[in-house]
Amino acid sequence: MVTRKNLLVVVFTLMLAVSLSGCMMGQAMMPDREVEISMDAAMAGQNKAIQGALSGQATLTESEFSSLITMLLQQNAGSEVPIDSVQAMFDPGKIYIVANLAQSVGGIDKVGLVGNVVVQDHIVSVELDQAFAGNLVVSGGLASLIADRINAALNDPRLGTIVGVETGDGTVTLSMGM
């Protein structure tokens, strides 16, 4: 479960890495589209996830996935996680995630990741191309350090057995196994 402490550690690590590396200033490689966050989309995403757990496969749209993650964070973490919303965008072989912070931290109002999701030996992991906080963008070795931290959190047996993740134009398909 994401906690405020874990989020702050990731944000602090990103900011420290940025300050020590002389990283780029600018914009991350993000698609130019909005993702609607709504309770209806969250409920639709939850229903698809439940059906997928039973059938072995679930396909969610950007709005369903983003709304579900946002609502789960708000319900389960409350004020401990200072995130207003999470927007996920999917292209073939690529995932873009932006967390909009509830309050600006040091002038930073959003943090995000650009990369892809892989599954090896039933373990979900991310391979990051970029990570960003506001207009500070890191890539390469620094993005790998951030990916290592995320992958340590994803390597949790309580997350279930995912055997495949495929991203398409505006969709993500999760395949689950026993």
Mean pLDDT score of the chain, rounded to an integer? 84
Chain-centroid distance of CA 47 in Å reads 20
- Measured between alpha carbons, how far is 99 from 70 in angstroms, rounded to an integer? 9
Top-confidence range, 22-36, 54-68, 75-89: 54-68
Q: Is the pLDDT of residue 1 over 70?
A: no
Report the pLDDT value the prediction gives residue 69, as an integer from 0 to 100.
Answer: 92
- Measured between alpha carbons, how far is 91 from 94 in angstroms, rounded to an integer? 5
- Measured between alpha carbons, how far is 99 from 88 in angstroms, rounded to an integer? 9
Give the structural domain span for 153: 4-176
The more confident residue out of 98 and 31 is 98
How many other C-beta atoms are found inside a 10 Å radius of the C-beta of residue 75?
A: 9
Task: Give the lowest-confidence range in 36-40, 147-151, 159-163.
Answer: 159-163
pLDDT tens-digit map of 62-105 = 999 999 999 998 888 767 778 899 999 999 999 999 999 888 88
Per-residue confidence band for 22, with pLDDT thresholds at 50, 70 and 90: very low
Q: How many domains does the chain have?
A: 1
Q: What is the pTM of this model?
A: 0.79
How many other C-beta atoms are found inside a 10 Å radius of the C-beta of residue 167?
A: 20
How many other C-beta atoms are found inside a 10 Å radius of the C-beta of residue 159?
A: 11
Which residues face 103 on adjacent strands? none
DSSP character string of 148-176: HHHHHHH--GGG--EEEEEEETTEEEEEE
- Measured between alpha carbons, how far is 124 from 103 in angstroms, rounded to an integer? 30
